[in-house]
Amino acid sequence: MNWFTGVMVFILLWWLTWFCALPIGVRPPDVPEVGHEPGAPVKPYLWWKLGGTTLVALALTAAVYWLVKSDYISFRALSE
């Protein structure tokens, strides 16, 4: 896996993890304010989710890199 493929794998895994993490811990306000969206979360914790998403995506990218480099799953053998 070259650097470009590694970056693309990281970006794809980051976005997938980001969209999985967004609904975690979200709750609407008990009493919505006038003019605000009633379904908007009270505290979305976006910075925590951003950091967690990055760490999980780095770990998953490392796992994909290891799988590709170790020939544990050989894509070349599957294509023959």
DSSP 3-state of 70: coil
Tokens linked to 54: 């990055």
Q: Give domain limits for the chain.
A: 3-26+42-79
Instruction: In whole angstroms, give the CA distance from residue 2 to residue 72.
Output: 18
- Chain-centre distance of CA 14, in angstroms? 3
58-77 confidence digits (pLDDT tens) = 999 999 999 888 877 777 77
23-60 confidence digits (pLDDT tens) = 998 888 888 888 888 888 888 899 999 999 999 999 99
Helix (H) or strand (E) holding 60: helix 46-69
Report field, pTM of the whole predicted structure over 0.85: no
